[in-house]
Amino acid sequence: MKIINEMRLDFPAFAKNEALARLVISAFMLPVNPTLEQLADVKTAVSEAVTNAIVHGYRDKCGTVRMHAALYENMALMVEVIDRGCGIADVRQARQPFYTTQEGEERSGMGFTVMESFMDSVEVRSEVGRGTTVRMKKLLDAREGEPIARQA
């Protein structure tokens, strides 16, 4: 499938940058006129993925989070959130509701569950000591007009 637009953003793994990621993905989606529900769904899923990278991936250490997004001509949106943190030893276990690596803190352990409920698909690849990539896809409804064409 042909990509009609894409972007990449690298930012420090600071909690305050979760809001930056939400704003950037919103701005990236706006030219294709998504519904408010689609916009909210993607922002929520991105927020969860970025928070997981910061809180669990780096665990109070310095690091960089990368967000890569692509929009395809069939109106499919793909968003990847990538960290080079500690990785996840057991991805299957980490995807279970209420699982958290931050015992004793106010964490619900629902990050992956939230992502899965708002996106059409969520893939998680991780390697201990090398980091984690969360790849999420959402099919957007075309509304009023055509999506933007890829600029040369």
* Structure token pair of residue 5: 């637009």
pLDDT (0 to 100) of residue 97: 63
pLDDT (0 to 100) of residue 98: 60
Rounded CA separation 29/18 (Å): 17
- Return phi, psi of residue 98, to 5°: 75, 0
**pLDDT digits over 60-101, tens only?**
788 999 999 999 999 999 999 999 999 887 767 666 666 565
Read off the pTM: 0.84
CB 53 within 8 A of CB 65: yes
**Residues assigned a catalytic role:** 48, 52, 107
HSE value, Cβ hemisphere, 13 Å, CA-based, for 4: 15
CB 19 within 8 A of CB 70: no
Strands in the chain per DSSP E: 3-12, 64-72, 76-83, 121-127, 131-139
Checking if the pLDDT of 18 tops 90, the result is yes
